Structure 1
Amino acid sequence: MSTADLPIGTRLRGRDELRFVRPYRRLGRLNEVERAKLARHPYEAIAAVVERYAAEGPEAIAGVPGEVERLKWAGIYPQRQGGNAFMVRVKVPGGRLRAEQAVELGLLAEAFAQGPEDHPVFGNAYADLTTRQDVQLHWVRIEDVPRLWRRLDAVGLTTVQACGDSARNVLCCPLAGADPEEVVDALPVAVAISDFFTGNRAYANLPRKFKMSVTGCREDCVRAEINDIALWPARSVAGELGFNLLVGGGLSDGERMAQDVDVFVAPGDAVEVCRAIAQLYGELGNREHRGLARMRYLVEELGPEGFRAELAARTSLRLAPAGEALTRRFRGDHVGIHPDRRPGRLLVGLCVPVGRLRGRELAEAGRLAAAYGDGTVRLGADQNLVLAGVPEERLEDLLAEPLLARCTPFPGPFSRGVVACTGTEFCRFAVVETKARALDLAQWLDEQCGPAVAELAEEVGPIRVHLSGCSASCAQPQIADVGLRGTAAHLGDQLVEGVDVGLGGTLGPRAGFVDWVDGGLPAQDLPEALARLVRLFLAERRPGEALWAWARRQPPARLRETLRAPDREEVRP
């Protein structure tokens, strides 16, 4: 079977690969993954799923060197359990699902994401919403992938390049086109960028993952500063509305805030600018040391002026200077009831704690979008979702729907702000369990401290607690009020699951990463430790001060002392 015989959602464009100059001159110094990609283009693994692996099983995958890595371009990862258990990630450009797409994803979860037994907290057959507006299905068998692809293709969805060293899902404000205060509707731009890169062989093999966001809203809800490329709203010197360009943001072990390179991008030029940056990164990015291969290291090496010059050399566009930045604050979510720009309509933001929905719940969200709203389910970068275009007179009926009893627009402040990655339940890199732990933690804190925090909701907002199972930062702990990173900890003579605790992260005008104030805190001590911290914050905060701002004023030693139980001997891993 040729790639032309694949479903449309997995068809691949272009046979000539872009000849990135720098890495291919020094073949002897390429890292192992680069050698695997050079020996066999990752798109060949996509075709092989249909041609061979679905029939022969996971053993056939293991028999091809480097194939597990290449399958990431198909959106497929092996689960921690090994064997015939895979995670499949579905791209949702701009976070926008049509109602029928949401219904089909829910049905796919029910059909293909059945684990061997029910999870004690979440049950079975569920879908995870991610911080990149993707949907992840677990426990998928390799023989079921071609059928899953065909059904995704029928509703216009794909898994191609949801993972791997390529352009990942393109983020956009979930309220695009419905936000009364947005500068420009950026969804068409985000979709155009996604369409250009998805399935494009010439730009598929980059040094590492390549993350982009584009938004016309003024509240930075898609976290511009931590993307490789970010387009956020601006007004040019000539008065045109469009975007300023930021580059080189990211988290993991070497977090960096994206830098302004003094470029204004008109909406019609966005695809070309992103293409030229991908070419720049492909040619100059580090393919020798994988730990230093993310674009942020290249931006740091070149500096803003040098990067701008290299970009100008790779496009026929005349790069205009940056305009007036129009972002005014960082908004972590869109949970709650808000006005839609369309008269008489409302935006209903639903809290999906830790981003996990059963398949039937996701399908039900699609049904509600069609029955009450504008027919769209909008995924946020906070693992929540929004129903848009709800008539005011139908709000009470919508609120009475059973799904909204669990996915409520009126959650407690900790349930609203909790974010968690996959953790040891499925991920081979995680060192602690995350989803159930984060959910339990948020619900317990809502009981203990929620009422006091809720009284100050307008000033304090939700308390954003992000739990990542390892240092890869999939839950983005560095930008949270409270960032938690999985590690090992000592409890007496026992080695137990623990967390590093960071405080004071946020984005927007006062962007800054957390300060890691404590390391190796046993996870069992975490609820009481955070309750002590929140109570101290509530007692000492200044008017209008959020937790992240209060934490920045405190000496790290004091914060660490607050977190550590006073009646237990301090131990470090």
Structure 2
Amino acid sequence: MSPIKNPPTSDAGAGRAIRPPRAGRANGQWRIDGRKPLNPNEVVKQDGDPLGAHDRILSTYAAAGFDAIPDDDLHTRFRWWGLYTQRKQGIDGGRTAQLSPAELSDRYFMQRVRMDGQSLSVKQMRVLGRASNEFARGTLDVTDRQNLQMHWIQIESVPELWRRLEEAGLITIEACGDTPRGILVSPVAGIDPDEIIDPSAAAAQIRDTFLGNPEISNLPRKFKTAFTGSPTLDILHEINDIAYVGVNHPEYGPGYDLWIAGALSTAPFLGQRLGAFVRPDQVSDVWWAAIRLFRDYGYRRLRNKARLKFLMAEWGPEKFRRVLQEEYLGYELADGPAPAPPAGEADHIGVHRQKDGHYWIGGIPPVGRLSGDTMLGLADLAETVGSDRVRTTPLQNILLLDVPAERVDEAVAGLRELGIDPDPGPFTRSLLACTGLEFCKFAIVETKSLAARVGAELDARLADLNLERRISISVNGCPNSCVRIQIADIGLKGQIITVDGQQVPGFQVHLGGGLASAGHEEAELGRTVRGLKVAATDLTDYIERVVRRYAAGRTAGESFAQWAQRAAQEELV
């Protein structure tokens, strides 16, 4: 087997070092310590089935109003149905850590809609667009897990919103919470001419079989799943709890290489390759085994050490595979080959020929921001050019599928008119931004509009450079790394900094991160530039400066990440 190495990160600065909880005490592992809850969150989850909040929303809270919702449902169990209270407007980022969740929370909700690799039909797009305009003040964002999010939802509107979504075949169950979260699936599954295996049916089987199963509705923390059969390796498999990566086995044919326990946040850990080959008919068995292993052996005493990565850090891939097979799966998996290095563009932007002769067109809504009107316009455009399928991507982008050759130019022009650019500038193309201070209770700084402005300014200022590879930038509003700052070329972690004696929004800088699946020679976490903190108002100037230094100082074929990892400290400030 060839596990990915995870270097200690406490000194590297990409996050705290991964260390399992202390031995010799109960850590809340059900299989070892029993099910006695060891923290308030575990008490709430055991005190009442989190999935039961659904019926209380419909029968009681929607009629009685926001003030009738008890705290345990409001701040915990609602998440099992994709509902989070959003940030109260007007609270600056400097107060985020000073206030309680109740003080930070508004009387409105974010509603997350799961995609799980599902395509959106014209009908579904219209349902989403109208719901956004009617219930969510026109808000609609694409997340970096392919999901969709609306804001400004009132509890009184939830039953009708859910009814419309469910009638259209869209779901919110377990979109948040300590659950099997939304499944990443290659956005070009089933249409990529070079695809090794189409994972669409495998992902759909897991979604249809296991979501809402009470046996796995109370996990130690969230559990993220990803599938790809594309040679572009387009679902960031190294940072998912379980990932299936398409490979060709010399004896068994197309199937999946199995990766386990990747995650970022404040203690990043790259997933481990188990060396196990999963045949297509074994996918659900392996998933069901892995998630129950996490349920039973995952740490529950401390929530900041409850992700699967902490168990993997203690066990290692060999023990994990042995326990998975012997205690949960009931048979041994064959050894198999590792994925080939990625080939092609993993963001799928631009015009591409499908295996059936039609075309998909990938476009970028700036930093994933759509609107109800944009979604309605997208539905009209798709219908006009003969398409009935749109997909979201893990890079917050949109793909319009199945466009006949003779309608491609019309589709490209139509996407551009909607603000979904099929040919964006290189920095706008490689930019991610989280929800930020506008709606998120964890955020310290504003992100979306800042990132969009910075991307546009960099495209204009650096147009003279001839960069062989695009430079990825991730703008995160807090330390939680929702947009993966440790694996970006330039990762920006929001915080309040002091400039000339004044506290202002700013960022800690991580440089040189990347995944093998994103075209880097090997996965590596970004390096923190010690002592460097950049004010939000100076962000474009700083990035321009460091990119020009890279352009002037790189060796032949050297990527930004390689240069940033070797560069002297003074070159990075």
**Which residue among 102, 114, 131 is the counterpart of 1:108?**
131
Contact 1:432-1:486 at 8 Å conserved across structures = yes
In structure 1, how many angstroms separate the alpha carbons of the residues matched to 2:363 and 2:83?
28
CA distances 1:495-540 after superposition (whole Å, capped 9, x unpaired): 1111011111111252111111154322222110111111112222
Counterpart check, 1:472 vs 2:485? no
Alpha-carbon distance in 2 for matches of 1:52, 1:467: 39
**1:327 CA displacement:** 4.4
Deviations 1:260-299 (A, max 9, x none): 1121111221111111101100000001011100001111
How far did 1:331 drift? 4.3
Structure 2: distance between partners of 1:91 and 1:547: 34
Match of 1:200 among 213, 221, 236: 213
1:77-226 equivalences in 2 (<5 Å)? 77-81=84-88, 82-114=105-137, 125-226=138-239
Partner residue of 2:340? 326
**Deviation for aligned residue 1:560:** 3.3
Verify: 1:22 aligned to 2:31, yes or no: yes
Of 70, 74, 81, the match for 1:74: 81
Please name the residue that 1:558 is paired with. 570
Q: Which stretch shows the higher mean deviation, 178-187 or 64-73? A: 64-73
Letter in 1 for 2:60: R
CA RMSD of aligned residues (A): 1.8
Compute the displacement of 1:324 (Å).
4.2
- What does 1:155-554 correspond to in 2, within 5 Å? 155-312=168-325, 313-329=327-343, 331-343=345-357, 345-401=358-414, 403-404=416-417, 406-449=419-462, 451-453=463-465, 455-456=466-467, 459-460=468-469, 462-508=470-516, 509-518=521-530, 519-554=532-567
SS of residue in 2 equivalent to 1:84:
strand
Q: Which residue of 1 aligns with 2:101?
A: none
User: Counterparts of 1:332 and 1:435 in 2: how far apart (Å)?
Assistant: 22
**TM-score of the two chains, using structure 2 as the length reference:** 0.88
Contact 2:145 / 2:184 at 8 angstroms: preserved in 1?
A: yes
**2:476 and 2:492 in contact (8 A); partners too:** yes
Aligned AA (2:458): L
CA pair 110-24 structure 1, distance change in 2 beyond 3 A: farther
Number of residue pairs matched by the alignment: 524
CA contact (8 A) 1:351 1:409 kept: yes
Secondary structure (helix, strand or coil) at the match of 1:483 reads: strand
Supply the AA of the counterpart residue of 1:78: T
8 Å CA contact retained: 1:79, 1:86: yes
Cα separation, partners in 2 of 1:232 and 1:56, compared to 1, 3 Å? same
- Comparing 174-183 with 97-106, greater Cα deviation is found at 97-106
SS at match of 2:266: helix
Contact 1:58 1:83 in 2 (8 A): no
Matched residues in 2 for 1:514 and 1:243: separation? 28
> Using the alignment, how far apart are the partners of 2:455 and 2:393 within structure 1?
19
Q: Which range moved further: 94-103 or 398-407?
A: 398-407
Q: Name the CA shift for 1:332/1:177 in 2 (closer, same or farther; >3 Å).
A: closer
Give, in whole Å, the separation in 2 of the partners of 1:164 and 1:445: 37
Q: Is the Cα–Cα contact under 8 Å of residues 252 and 279 in structure 2 kept in the other structure?
A: no
> Residue type matched to 1:526 in 2?
L
SS at match of 1:375: coil
Residue identity opposite 1:321 in structure 2 = D
Cα deviation code 1:49-83 (max 9, x no counterpart): 1011101112122x343542111001000001134
CA contact 2:29–2:299 (8 Å) conserved in 1 = no
> 36, 53, 63: which one pairs with 1:45?
53
Question: For 1:162, what is the secondary structure of its paired residue?
Answer: coil
Distance 1:481 1:209 in 2: 26
C-alpha change, 1:150 and 1:512, in structure 2 (3 Å) is same
Unpaired segments of 5 or more residues in structure 1? 1-18, 115-124, 562-573
Runs of 5+ consecutive residues of structure 2 not aligned to the other structure: 1-27, 89-104
**In 2, distance between residues paired with 1:265 and 1:65?**
40
- Give the Å deviation of 1:549: 2.7
- Aligned AA (1:91): R
8 A Cα contact 1:489 1:522, kept in partner:
yes
CA positional deviation for 1:396: 1.6
**AA matched with 2:31:** R
Report SS of the residue matched to 1:401.
helix
Distance (Å, rounded) in 1 between the aligned partners of 2:386 and 2:319: 47
Deviations 1:410-447 (A, max 9, x none): 11111111110001100110100000111111111111
Aligned: 1:58 with 2:71 = no
CA contact (8 A) 1:237 1:324 kept: no
| CA deviation map 1:308-346 (0-9, x unaligned) | 111012013432113342342584411112222222x22
Structure with higher RCO (Cα < 8 A, 6+ apart):
2
Contact map agreement 2:289 2:324 (CA 8 A) in 1: yes
Cα drift, residue 472 of structure 1:
0.9
Q: Distance in 2 between matches of 1:405 and 1:357?
A: 9
For 2:282 and 2:175, the matched residues in 1 are separated by 24
Question: Which residue in the other structure is 1:12 paired with?
Answer: none
Query: Which TM-score applies when normalising by structure 1?
Result: 0.88
Identical counterparts, % of pairs: 37
Task: Assess if the C-alpha contact under 8 Å between 1:364 and 1:403 holds in 2.
Answer: no
Q: Matches of 1:466 and 1:226 in 2, distance apart? A: 15
